[in-house]
Amino acid sequence: MEFAITLDNSSPVPLHRQLYEEVRQSILNGRLSAGSRLPSSRMLAASLGVSRSTVTQSYDQLISEGYLQTVIGSGTIVSEQLPDEWLTATAAKSGKAPEQGKQDKSLLSRLSIYGTSLADAAPLDAVEVQRPINFSIGVPALDQFPMKTWRRLLLRHCRDNPAKLLGYAAGSKGERVLREAISVYLARSRAVRCDPDQILIVNGSQQAIDLVTRILIDCGDTVALENPGYLGARRTFLAQGAKLVPVPVDDAGIIIDKLPSLLTKKVKLIYVTPSHQFPTGAVLSLSRRLELIARTAGTGALIIEDDYDSEYRYCSRPIPALQGLDENENVIYIGTFSKMLFPSLRVGYLVVPNSLSRIFERARWLADRQSPTLEQLVLADFINEGHLERHLRRMRALYDRRRQALVSALQQYFADRVTIMGENTGMHLMVKLSTGFDVDEVIERANKAGIGIVGAEIYYLKGAQPGEFVLGYANLAERKIQEGVRRLAKALR
Ligand SMILES: Cc1ncc(COP(=O)(O)O)c(C=O)c1O
């Protein structure tokens, strides 16, 4: 059988995917009829000048989707039975929606590399089963937010000049008054050095990570990142087609000696959470911060510093942000109000080197143009009138009590069966429980006892450790924390 197939070596679409698509289209448009024989993988590989595994990968995919089948003695043939897709396509033509749970494969085959990466089954975040007592990660004490003050500031803006607030903003960087307030706050509390023109207001740090990735990463580029680490960042890099190099962390943060050679591996980004490593809670030591900056200088790599919950420290003084220590404009700093105030506010910020700020502004315009004006103005007042710092002071004291309640309950009920990590900062603890049960069973038993907890496994790119969990405490009253740990211990007896 003649196979008129051309593969494009310069395309970002992998060769096995191109071949898969060509064969699939030939079947769908009838050029390859049911029962016809395909060349052996060795022959096809030789005639196309590709490796045999490229061909077997495409054949295997087509077999698993029902387009091809293997027949002993005849090799690989086009299936006698048509795959579901025909049924789905007919249903769509006749105006009927495809059955729930059945994906339209012909539509899926038209996806970009980015779209394809989102179609796979890996979750974007840990699944949290809601129970009466949830040790939710990254959720601040929502019932403690000073809503009265917020409402007063909101009303003031709605009363004063409402029409001015309703049109498009002049640029995409965000309201100047908010950028000024953030630059003052960052200089004072995080030793970040920037002027308001370097700040871009975004819809939470997740959008910041997305913009950085789109602007700096091409398919096939290398990104080094902490292992374990924040899933939202990892999945964003993967969706862009980045090659990931996991770097282990210990109790002083990312291990700099384990970084890949930045030059030979052509690392473009190093993603870190230095103030409070996610999820272990380690704080990157000053010496490692300086070493990371020194190692990165002149290599072409940029550091992304995700400072998502640095405001909550309970023991020692804060260590200055990497951004403020760096003299070479090699750090992109990301912050968020999701943990300081509340996550649905969707306000975060990027601090970028001057030379990149215009590009980031343009990318933001293309993504979704701007953040809502009214909330930005309210937030600027909230910061400038001292409400933010007051709220943070209160929350620091509250979370400290909740943290202590969690630590002492764990010690009381688990004694030497628990190891607690990263307990002096943030809004969650990572713990290792020796229970004799595997992680899934622990979660199931906890859920049955009315407790929502999350395993740490999902945060590892490789080498997950057994028995590790991440317990958020910021949004749980002390007595619920105590009760939750008691029930958990009982469920695991
Ligand atoms: C390490 C880390 N970075 C970023 C984020 C995203 O926060 P945002 O709500 O600002 O998108 C989170 C959320 O929990 C996080 O844990």
Return d(Cα 268, Cα 448) in angstroms, integer. Answer: 45
Return d(Cα 218, Cα 233) in angstroms, integer. Answer: 15
- Chain-centroid distance of CA 271 in Å reads 11
Task: Dump pLDDT digits (tens) for 245-296.
Answer: 999 999 999 999 999 998 888 899 999 999 999 999 999 999 999 999 999 9
**267 phi, psi to nearest 5 deg:** -70, 130
Site to probe by mutation for ligand 1, drawn from 210, 212, 278, 470 as the one with most ligand atoms within 8 Å of Cβ, is 278
Grade residue 109 by pLDDT with cuts at 50, 70 and 90: confident
Return d(Cα 364, Cα 353) in angstroms, integer. Answer: 16
Residue 108 has a CB neighbour count (10 Å cut-off) of 13
Average pLDDT over residues 376-385: 98
Take residue 381 and report the two structure tokens written for it: 């007042």
Ligand 1 pocket: which residues have CB below 6 Å? 138, 204-206, 230, 232, 273, 278, 306, 308, 336, 338, 343, 348
Task: Dump pLDDT digits (tens) for 400-437.
Answer: 999 999 999 999 999 999 999 987 889 999 999 999 99
Task: Dump pLDDT digits (tens) for 293-321.
Answer: 999 999 999 999 999 988 888 877 778 89
- For the chain, percent of residues with pLDDT exceeding 90: 69
Take residue 190 and report the two structure tokens written for it: 């995080």
Answer whether residue 93 shows pLDDT above 90: no
347 alpha carbon to ligand 1 midpoint, in Å? 11
266 alpha carbon to ligand 1 midpoint, in Å? 27
Task: Dump pLDDT digits (tens) for 182-222.
Answer: 999 999 999 999 999 999 999 999 999 999 999 999 999 99
Closest CA to 259 of 301, 217, 221: 301
The tally of CA atoms less than 13 A away on the side-chain side of residue 465 is: 16
